[in-house]
Amino acid sequence: MRAFGEFLAGLEDVPQDVDRLTAAHWAAWGMSLPPRTSGYNKYATTAGLLQADARLPQPVREAMARRFAWEPGREQAYRLEEFQEIRAAARRAFRTALLRIRENTGRLQSWRAGEVPAGSREWLVGEALDVLARTGDVPLYAYRRAVRRTHREALGGSAAASTWMRLFLSRKEAAVLAVLIVMELGLNATTVSELPVPQVLPGMGEAGVPVYRLRLEKRRRARVIAAGALDAVASARRTVFAARLADQPQEGDRPTATAHCTDYEHSPFGPSGRSCAASFLLRTACPNARVTPAHHPRLAYLHQALTALRGVLDAAVWEADWAEAHARLADLRARLGEPVWKAALGTVTGEDRATITQLLQGTSTCDRLADRAARSAPLENAGNRPLAGRRPGPPLRVDLR
């Protein structure tokens, strides 16, 4: 604020109070700052402090919402390795936000359905989330805009991570999402910054998940890219566990090494009517797969094995071949909870270890034998196929005992 005060003191007509500030004052202040990080920090900090004052005129608030004028930099293309590292880091950062918001959305749905005992700590959290979803903030004291004590204790504090970030992205996470949209859809930063708010397509949600339409406004043409939006959704879902969780297999399910299959001839990863040929790594991404507690030890060990591979393989190879499967298993771990996951790891057998090792080496015969026991048609062969980026050499050994 000192820098802003010194700037105002140098004007011919010095505003005497906050309500005397104008949009022209703010624009001139912004233009006086260096177009670098130091200038932006002063710009953003001063705006945040002034916006808390109810006397600040609306035209000044609108001027503050405009983008800070950064110094134009040199455009330089990233190397492929750099591009892959940036995309991997962005996926990890956004996935953390996705899991956080998904967990709290589940809590909110349970609260609204009346499944949470009234008066409990979880009930207070659900009530706070309901207020947050409707108003944009958790329950506050009206006179000092502080989180109400009962809700503050239930939420674990009044910091952003304990309150509004339970259902909303932070600025950094929103920027990460913009990076992912740029990298996944091939759009430039200017196009993304000008995207209007997406519209929900009625009646097109799958399993309760809404589908959004992004209206892409380009300099020379405007068009609707529903297909591009669906591609972005599909890309995000590749790192989300999509198999069904069940207590036990159902009649007609076909056993495989890491799950049961409910519809072997109608795989989402191949032509309908033909035997599934997808890699075993895609089981956790397949809605036809059914995972029961009997599969938990083997899947937990597979997650541990993929984590170990990350330390011995080239980063680009691991990202291309194993990262999405690892993310889906991490998603499964979050859904089951740490107690269930630890119990599963404690019951891993020697057969489980041998099966996972064979699958990772690409020499598994387990699925083929399971298929022949059910019928004579061949089962998947992708488990015997070297994955992209793998080089010929001695067998890959992963022993986590």
The DSSP line for 40-101 is HHHHHHHHHHHHTSTTS-HHHHHHHTSPP-PPP----PPPHHHHHHHHHHHHHHHHHHHHHH
Residue 72 lies in a domain: no
40 shares its domain with 159? no
162 shares its domain with 249? no
Query: Quick one: average pLDDT of 291-302?
Result: 93
Domain end call among 166, 191, 217: 166
With a pLDDT cut of 90, the percent of the chain lying above it is: 20
Give residue for tokens 């879902």.
237
220 shares its domain with 110? no
pLDDT surpassing 80 at residue 362:
no
H/E segment holding residue 111: helix 80-112
322 shares its domain with 369? yes
Of the given ranges (58-62, 230-234, 272-276), which has the lowest mean pLDDT?
A: 230-234
221 shares its domain with 258? no
- pLDDT for position 15: 84
**SS3 category, 151:** helix
10 shares its domain with 124? no
Segments forming the whole domain that contains residue 219: 171-237
Query: Quick one: average pLDDT of 190-196?
Result: 75
- At residue 235, φ and ψ (nearest 5 deg) are -65, -40
- pLDDT for position 270: 66
Predicted confidence (pLDDT) per residue in 305-342, tens digit: 999 888 888 888 888 788 888 988 998 998 888 889 99
Residue 395 lies in a domain: no
59 shares its domain with 140? no
227 shares its domain with 264? no
- pLDDT for position 76: 67
Report how many domains make up the chain. Answer: 4
- pLDDT for position 130: 93
Domain end call among 237, 253, 272: 237
Is 295 in contact with 245 (CB distance < 8 Å)? no
87 shares its domain with 38? no
145 shares its domain with 218? no
Residue 74 lies in a domain: no
Predicted confidence (pLDDT) per residue in 278-290, tens digit: 777 888 888 888 8
Nearest to 329 by CA among 354, 350, 309: 309
Residue 397 lies in a domain: no
Residue 38 lies in a domain: yes
145 shares its domain with 179? no
- How many CB atoms lie under 10 A from the CB of residue 226? 15
Is 228 in contact with 214 (CB distance < 8 Å)? yes
Domain end call among 137, 166, 195: 166
Residue 290 lies in a domain: yes
Residue 253 lies in a domain: yes
Residue 389 lies in a domain: no
User: Dihedral sign, CA of 281, 234, 333, 250?
Assistant: negative
115 shares its domain with 151? yes
